[in-house]
Each structure stands twice: as C-alpha cells, then as structure tokens.
A and B are shown apart, each in its own frame.
Chain A
Amino acid sequence: MISIDPDVIKELADKGLRIDRRAFDEYRPIKIETGVIEKAEGSAKVELGGTKVIAGVKMEVGEPFPDSPDEGVLITNAEFLAFAHQEFEEGPPNEDSIELARVVDRAIRESKAINFKKLCIEEGKKVWMIFIDIDILDHDGNLIDAASLAAIAALLNAKFPKLEIVEEGDEKKYTIDYEQKTDPLPIEQRPITITAAKINGKILLDPNIAEESAVEGEVSMGVTDNMIASIQKSSPGGFTIEEINRIAEISLKKAAEIRGLLK
C-alpha cells in the first residue's frame, strides 16, 4: 500500500489543495444501495470514495428498559473487519469500533429519528428491539459519515417482520415470521453526520485516509434539517469556538445535499 507523507497533505492544505483535487467542502462520490441483504429486515451498502460499509437492521421482540416501559430498544454495533485495513485486527471491539458505533447511535437517538413509542408491543413487557450492525469492509477514511449514512439508509429500508401473538391461557406467545415483511419502521428524521477535519489550520470535509494521518482534530456533527443533534470530536488536537461554529454551519448545509441521496 502506498502511504502519503502527512507533511505533503499539510503543505497542500496550506495552498488550498487536497491530494485528490477536491474542494475543501467537497465529499468524495457517494453511492447508496439499499436492500442488499435479503435476510435482514433492512440493509444498505454505502461507498464513500474508497470507503465501503454495509449496515444491516435485524429485529427481535424483547423486554423494554424499566425507565422507558413503552419504548422500543436500539442497539448499534460496528465491526472493523480484518480485511478492511492492514492495521485492523481480529478480536473483540476496540475503542475505535466502540466509538464509531456510539457516534452512529447517538445521531439516530438524539435526532429522534426513530419513534420508539411505535415499537411498543405490550407496555412494560414486550417491545421491538432494533439492532443496527455495521460492517466496515474497506477503510479509506471517514468511517463515521459512511457508517451513519448506511445506518439511516438501512433503517429507511427496513420493514417489520410479521409478528404472531398466540394466547395460551394467561400467557402470550410471540413468534416472528421473518419471511413476511410488513410495514416500514417509524422513521421520523433523517440525521446525516458530517465530519470535518482540521489540517494545517484549514477546515475540510470528508477526510480520506491519507488526510486522516495529517489531522489536528476531527469533529463529527449529526444534523437534521435545521438542528444539530450530536457532536463528537475524535482524534487528538483542538478547535477554536469560531471553527466549531463554522463547522456547524457548513454541516447543516452539506447534510441537506447528502440527505437528498436517501430514498
């Protein structure tokens, strides 16, 4: 694999240039394909330049959390597959994959993308559990945006499997027929996550993997039409308040463009 000297990236940034000739606020080409996994309730494959991720939504019936007895449950997980990058290793989730999953989860949860009350089957007893699992297939930078986009695309693609309730005396038995898909999920917002990187004092969007080796900090914002729902600064480094405000403004604009790609 060819590696590019971070100093080259920094010098370019200073001249207003990027290694792949993009403008600072330009994303790499985005490709979204939904329904790619028939066995999943919903799925989406996202390509962001050379980054490839796939998100699958699976659903089960489970118990609600005691503090939200009438709400469904969302569990998000990310796997960095060992073939996706030479530095990825087999094994339990590490801090990067945990952070990625939690950042994806936070944007969906905080933007109220899912109406959790509509996932209640029997208050205090049974609710739908939504599992979003994200496989990182190829790492070419900005996994957060690619994974977040795949997650919301998969949720929009998902349909409830058929739930059969059989009453046996006082007991209710729940069985799921995964072969039969019914209604779409109650998705009420389409959060988009935008990641900005600071390189040599310049702010640029959608850093590729070479650029990520040269960053002085990255900030990801999960945004809806007009609100910011979640923020995560990742990578060492720092931003001024003025820079963060500017990133918020750019993120709201850029997200509107990317949201248009969702079906």
Chain B
Amino acid sequence: MEQKLIVDGKRLDGRALDQLRPIEARAGVLKNANGSAYFRIGKTIAVAGIFGPREVHPKHMEEAETAILRCKYNMASFSTTERNRPGPSRRSKEISKVMREALMPVLFLENFPKSAIDLHVEILQADASTRCAAINAASIALADAGIPMKDLIASCSVGIVEGHIVLDVAGKEDTEGDVDLPIAYYPKRDLITLLQMDGMVTKEQLKQLLELAKKGAMKIYEIQRQALKSKYMEE
C-alpha cells in the first residue's frame, strides 16, 4: 500500500489543508545588485537580484517609449535531488516569460524609456512551487531596488491531492498530486496576474482553488511587506 498523502485532514508535513509552509523573507541580501531578496517557503529557496533601470544592451532591444523588463528564472544544478543540467531549459524559458508578464502590471515601465530592468531569480533549492517563490522574491527585490511600483505581487500555489483542495503544494504532493495551479496576485487591483494549471478540474473546483489561492497570496503579501519594512527599520 502506498503512503497516503493526507490522513485525517493533515498532510505529510503536518500541515492543515489550507496552511502555507513556514516562510522566511528578507530584502537587500546582496551587495552589488540594485535590489535583492531572499524568499524561502519550506525547503524551496529563491534569491532575486535586480539591476536597473539601466542602459539597454544590446542596443536593438531598446524601446523608445518604455523600459523593458528582462526576467530570468534559473534552477541551480544542486537544487534538485537528481542534478539539474545547467543552462536554460524549455521549462525555465516558459517560467521566465510568465513571471515577467505577472510582474509587469505593477511597474511604471513607461517612466523609464530606453532602459532595461534586469531581474534574475536563482532557485537554490527546489521543493515545488518554485515559480511562486521566484515571483515573491522578485517582487521584494524590485521594491528594494527603489523601482516605483503600484503594488507588490504575491504568489502561491494550490492543488488537488487525493481529492482534497490544498494550499501551497509541496514535496510528494507535487509529483503525486492531481492538480497544480500556481497564481500570482495583485492585491490592490484584485487581479490574478499569473495563472497556470495542470490537471483536470470542474469549474466549481476551479472556483474553490482560486479563492483559496487568493487567501494564501494575501498571507504572503503581508510577509513581503514585513520584509521590506524591517530592512528600512534597520537603516
């Protein structure tokens, strides 16, 4: 008999169905980058660093009326149980794209024509929901860089595991669960800015998943704000 992932409403790591893993968030963790952040949720660890707004190289990428946001999501080769081959994969390119599109709505890119904001997120350790951790770190790092923003973007995942709707998919739930749905949320406008899903759901289940995801994202939003506040309290 295979090990059950949910017993008496508790998950393998002891969490309730609607509970996030322990989170640690810090702003300004790197010296050279214009802005940076560390975001850890359970065993998933992301570090984000920003340079910019700065001159665009290569020049032909420059846009006359707006800044460009360039995002790179990368998983360290030591971040996974089996070594992850270094270099961009099709998966990481897709994640970089959806991550950029999730963050763009809160940036005033039109205020910085002909410039680039370069964002790199490194996943140091991967235990599911890595794109969410990447967005959470990126959002804090953008604010830490002093880049004008309309709001922070907060991200988390929800899923369906053994028929139960759960918040913050982790560990075996990722590989053995039936549905994985990451979102990014823009609280001030009440907008979902990243939405992906793998797995079969009814439209009623989708509704429940999204409501739970929003609740989770709001908790993360508070932690992101705290991380920024505590950095400036220290200074």
Which A residues fall within an 8 A CB radius of B?
A: 93, 95-96, 98-99, 101-102, 106, 110-112, 217, 219, 224, 226-241, 244-245, 248-249, 252
Contact = CB atoms under 8 A, between A and B. Distances in A.
Interface of B: 90-91, 93-94, 96-98, 100-101, 104-105, 181, 186, 189-203, 206-207, 210-211, 214
B189 A232 contact: no
Given A235-B101, A238-B193, 7 more contacts: A98-B94, A102-B90, A102-B94, A111-B200, A233-B101, A238-B105, A245-B210
Contacts of A244: 192, 195, 206, 210
B214 A241 contact: yes
A249 B196 contact: no
21 contacts: A95-B96, A96-B97, A110-B199, A228-B201, A228-B202, A228-B206, A229-B199, A230-B199, A231-B195, A231-B197, A232-B98, A233-B101, A233-B193, A233-B195, A236-B105, A238-B192, A239-B191, A239-B195, A241-B207, A249-B203, A252-B203
Q: Which are the 3 A-B pairs with shortest beta-carbon distances?
A: A238-B191, A231-B197, A233-B195
A229 B196 contact: no
Contact of A241 (B100, B101, B192, B199): B192
Given A228-B206, A238-B186, A245-B206, A98 B191 contact: no
Contact of B200 (A99, A219, A228, A232): A228
Nearest to A241: B210
Contacts, number: 101
Given A98-B90, A102-B90, A233 B194 contact: yes
Contact of B101 (A110, A226, A231, A234): A234
A95 B193 contact: no
A232 B104 contact: no
Contacts of B214: 241
Nearest to B179: A110
A245 B207 contact: yes
Contacts of A228: 197, 200-203, 206
Nearest to A94: B93
A231 B105 contact: no
Contacts of B203: 228, 245, 248-249, 252
Contacts of B100: 236
A62 B199 CA distance: 26
A249 B210 CA distance: 15
Contacts of A112: 200
Q: Most B CB atoms within 10 A — which of A98, A217, A224, A235?
A: A98
B201 to A, nearest CB: 5
A99 B94 CA distance: 5
Nearest to B107: A236
Contacts of B104: 236-237
A224 B193 contact: no
A102 B90 CA distance: 8
Contacts of B91: 102
A101 B97 CA distance: 14
B211 A241 contact: yes
A76 to B, nearest CB: 10
A110 B193 contact: no
A204 to B, nearest CB: 18
Contacts of A232: 98, 195-197
Contacts of A231: 181, 195-197
B73 to A, nearest CB: 11
Nearest to B194: A233
